Structure 1
Amino acid sequence: MAISETLLQLVDIRDDIRQALINKGVDMANVPLSQYAEKIAGISTGDFPGYVLKTGELCSLAAGGAVARRSMAIPANCIPVALKSTGNWRFYSGKGETSDIGISITDNNNKTYLYVNKNSGPQWSTIGDGFCLCPLAMYDGNLETAATITTIHVNTWCNGGIYDASTGKIAVTMWLEKKV
């Protein structure tokens, strides 16, 4: 094949790649051939454009007790997808004299992932031996608004009376991390 034929073939290949990128929704206006690789690398291949789904333990709060509000910071550029709890979560009003006692898990945007409240009776209330929550679901999968989650709060409370509470460990075990 002559050099001129090879060059014409390369021009056709370049035009085909450009058109394929346009068909994928990539803006190719005034993009030189030297930037095609960057445009290809920027194409999302999943349901979470601009993010990579990761598993493990991003951050956590150890098991705790007593009336308290504790907070877990979510690292920048991360969106929590799954919260996993281990251990029992319990609260108790000695003789039923506490009129309002409970446990909640919320975030800095006032989204409630878990809310348990007990208004009377002298028995323990327990939330099983471990559970999972999906913070991203509270945002209907909207990554832009879910990206504003910076803190998850675990809150236990009482309104007087004899009281005891304990929470299990809670950790972010699945998250979306922004591609850089």
Structure 2
Amino acid sequence: MPFEFIKTEVPEVILIKPKVFSDKRGFFMESYKKSEFEKAGIDTDFVQDNHSKSIKGVLRGLHYQKEPAAQGKLIRCIKGRIFDVAVDIRKGSPTYGKWVGYELSEENKLMLWIPKGFAHGFLTLSEEAEIIYKVSGAEYSPQHDAGIIWNDKTINIKWPIDSIENIILSEKDKNLPTLEEAEINFVYGG
């Protein structure tokens, strides 16, 4: 099997470890294989691929798109290191407001599957980092774009930072609402 699918503390969020074949020439790995992902319960069609580059200290998030344009994301860091976070924002979910976070890097080649109904964010840990991610559900839709402030006290994410002064945020991300104030239209389906 070319992947190990690891359930997290929030079972719908899945950490994915690809099988990497390395030798003196470099390496080869599969980063996505529809049949294997379907067997692991990730049965989705991807509609968009994104590529992002950030410098150290950049924190992007916590972002999501509201229904009917909700998105799932398959995140992979191809250069540098990031701390990647998913937050359950499905009302009525037993894990509502709970977060999971993992270091994704070019070295460990781990990927994170974040389904619809979750907010996503990441912090750049290396001097610079590049991530690529596949998006399912809907393409980017500005009118459905939403988010939650990165330091919401009810979520209480333990970001690996030395000091809040080292965080670099966009103006948009500085002004996001709290979980309690955010416009969320996801409902847990059981």
TM-score bin, normalised by smaller chain:
under 0.3
TM-score normalised to structure 2 length: 0.27
With normalisation by structure 1, the TM-score equals 0.28
Computing the radius of gyration over CA atoms, which structure comes out larger, 1 or 2?
1
Higher percent of residues as helix:
1
